[in-house]
Amino acid sequence: MRKIVLLGYMGCGKSTIANKLSKIIEIPFVDLDKKIEEKINLSINAIFEKHGEIYFRKLEHEVFVELLNSPDNLIIGLGGGTPCYANNHELLKSDNVTSVYLKASIETLFNRLNHNKSKRPLIADKSEDEMKEFIAKHLFDRSFYYNQAQYKVIVDDKTVEETVMDIVEVLA
Ligand SMILES: Nc1ncnc2c1ncn2[C@@H]1O[C@H](COP(=O)(O)OP(=O)(O)O)[C@@H](O)[C@H]1O
Ligand SMILES: O=C(O)C1=C[C@@H](OP(=O)(O)O)[C@@H](O)[C@H](O)C1
Ligand SMILES: [Mg+2]
């Protein structure tokens, strides 16, 4: 069954946009991070703290594969790192998957993440100056994987509704 997969850097809006898109196109939304948290009954922060990032990436891969193999039509909101580990980007090329990269500038990401970092272990402890540099470098490293997506939607200066409508057009 069809899977619509939203990917992109932390803070680009995957979870927010997927939630709204789900209501409009009437396909259920599953957030990969939430599914991971439910599976082992720990928050993302606690998984990183107790078990480390490598364990998280393994779990993330397993849950992503489970979702892709589920018999339902689904919108899947990935974590920012999902396409960049365990060859997950190859899974985006499956016939039943439509992948959409929500592309945000460093400035947009910085503005959104600066007030919203406590639940994101990779940036939680960073100062403002460190954040800007970290996002710039990290986004550069990850762009290769994000650019594997079938479609790209720019999210800068758009409302949630505008981005959702752009995705609806791409999917039509
Ligand atoms: N136009 C917008 N589109 C999407 N998110 C926005 C927008 N403006 C502000 N935000 C905020 O940015 C944050 C995006 O976070 P989230 O949806 O969790 O992104 P991701 O899942 O990609 O990390 C949310 O706090 C959301 O309310
Ligand atoms: O970019 C990353 O490596 C991560 C992004 C997070 O998801 P969001 O992109 O939804 O914040 C979450 O999976 C974890 O904190 C790691
Ligand atoms: Mg998210």
Secondary structure of 80-121 as H, E, C letters: CCHHHCCCHHHHCCCCCEEEEEEECCHHHHHHHHHCCCCCCC
Q: Is the CB of 14 under 6 A from ligand 2?
A: yes
**Which residue numbers in the chain have pLDDT < 50?**
none
Which domains does the chain possess? 3-162 (3.40.50.300)
Residue closest by Cα to atom 16 of ligand 1: 13
Render pLDDT for 87-99 as a digit per residue (tens, 0 to 9). Answer: 999 999 999 999 9
Nearest to 100 by CA among 62, 147, 63, 57: 147
Which pLDDT does position 154 carry in this prediction?
A: 98
Length of the chain: 172
Report, in angstroms and rounded to the nearest whole number, the Rg of the chain calculated over CA atoms.
15
Q: Is the CB of 111 under 6 A from ligand 1?
A: no
- Complex ipTM over 0.95: yes
Q: Which ligand is nearest to the CA of 83?
A: 2
Which pLDDT does position 95 carry in this prediction?
A: 92
